[in-house]
Amino acid sequence: MRALVAAHRGDRGALLPILHRIQAEFGYVDSDVVPVLAAELNISRADVHGVVTFYSDFRSEPAGRTVLKLCRAEACQSVGAEQLVAHAERVLGIKTGQTTPDGSVTLEQVFCLGNCALGPAGQVNDRVRGRLSPARLESLLKGAASR
């Protein structure tokens, strides 16, 4: 982690790129790195913690092997997003923001994937999908699990 800090030390606004690199490398931003980053960048722990908790893309614990993001913005809501989220929560046995006990799926909400014309939209790992139905969602999750 100190090598990541060193690579960005002279950058203006170095915290965000460092946090992105930490998450890319480790899968999440462990709370143990907050005081180290604060000391290395000469900023407060509260500043680091505030950035990590403000941006929803940063995780404070590892995500599941499959990350399912479901859009809950207005365009997707108008074509069934809320019912799709409720279905996903029932099928997975978790609430939005949680990971299944076996670590297979993390369910997250987002407020626009830019796929409004094909709502309800979702993202399975890094692939955006449109016109999701409960059956299609389950099929995508099974496909992701088999990889």
Domain ranges across the chain = 2-54, 66-145
Query: What pLDDT, on a 0 to 100 scale, did the predictor assign at position 123?
Result: 97
Query: What pLDDT, on a 0 to 100 scale, did the predictor assign at position 39?
Result: 94
Both structure tokens of 3: 């090598």
pLDDT average per 10 residues of sequence, the chain (147 residues): 86 94 93 95 96 92 95 97 97 96 95 96 95 96 80
Helix 134-145, helix 81-92: angle, nearest 10: 50
Query: What pLDDT, on a 0 to 100 scale, did the predictor assign at position 29?
Result: 96
Class of domain 66-145: alpha beta
Helix 15-26, helix 45-54: angle, nearest 10: 60
Query: What pLDDT, on a 0 to 100 scale, did the predictor assign at position 3?
Result: 87
Q: Model-level pTM?
A: 0.83
Q: SS3 for 92?
A: helix
Query: What pLDDT, on a 0 to 100 scale, did the predictor assign at position 57?
Result: 86
Q: SS3 for 1?
A: coil
